[in-house]
Structure 1
């Protein structure tokens, strides 16, 4: 009798942007794909109303990345490209790669034409004992499971 594969843990992943691995993210969210629904109302023979549902525009969730703030300014430089209107330079391709327990690649979500719409750091607190969290929101034009 075959035994099913184990589910993947949510802890073993990496992020690649334009082929470069970006390490040390504590959280990734927003990996989603959606197809909007177009409802078309019509009458069948005998005047019976029906609603047909057709696929509409595709839509993908914004990717949220969180990590401990370091002295690396690359996210801020990237969003500055967008602020300066250099969107063609700012668009990048990337992947979220999932690994199994033995660190073998199990899934790869590729996104296209991504750019940061938001970069922020968490709150600062006198006397605090937490690390500063840097958050990045990436918008993109496509997500697929490779």
Structure 2
């Protein structure tokens, strides 16, 4: 029986879905890392070594980058958090990172649960450059899962 080879997906074809915010496109999105802490443990009857046990799970930050436009949705969301806190109504949003194949079919989906902006920045102004202005939004989250 022959085994079919599957080529890995390329990371350049993706979309970002943010509940309640319409954004045309992002040029870059980072998939947050997931870390499980270890806790060293030793019972009195154990030999002379500690056993690692799983501890708390922590999630990295989601970074989204896009060209700066007239749209204020991302900036206004960050301002809401800055002024009212992440507990204000509508402050935390669910986000999906969707990776597509060459045909545009959805292949991988990461769901980011209860995310909120912790940092907003833009690229610098430079009269000697013709580079596109980029705005970056860094988001914290409660947790993330890959469903596809």
Q: Which runs of 5+ in 1 are unaligned?
A: none
The whole-number CA distance in structure 1 between the counterparts of 2:142 and 2:117 is 12
For the residues of structure 2 that align with 1:20 and 1:138, how far apart are their CA atoms?
A: 14
Aligned partner of 2:49 in structure 1 is 50
TM normalised by structure 1 equals: 0.91
CA contact (8 A) 2:113 2:144 kept: yes
Alignment root-mean-square deviation, CA: 1.7
Report the counterpart of residue 3 of structure 1 in structure 2.
Answer: 4
Partner of 1:71: 70
Q: Counterpart of 2:71 in 1: which secondary structure?
A: coil
More displaced stretch, 63-72 vs 84-93: 84-93
Number of aligned positions between the proteins: 144
SS of 2:27's equivalent in the other structure is strand
Is the CA contact 2:16–2:25 (under 8 Å) kept in the aligned structure 1? Answer: no
The Cα offsets for residues 63-82 of structure 1, whole Å up to 9 and x where unpaired, read as 01111111111111101111
Quick check: 1:92 aligned with 2:93? yes
Q: TM-score when scaled to structure 2?
A: 0.89
| Unaligned ranges ≥5, structure 2 | none
Aligned partners of 2:20, 2:6: CA distance in 1, in Å? 29
1:9-28 superposed matches below 5 A: 9-18=10-19, 22-28=23-29
Matched residue, 1:139: 140
Report SS of the residue matched to 1:114.
strand
- Equivalent-residue separation in structure 1 for 2:85 and 2:60 (angstroms): 23
Deviations 1:46-93 (A, max 9, x none): xx3121111111101100111111111111110111112252321011
- More strand per residue: 1
Deviation at 1:2, TM superposition (A): 1.8
Q: Which residue of 2 aligns with 1:129?
A: 130
Shift of 1:118: 0.7
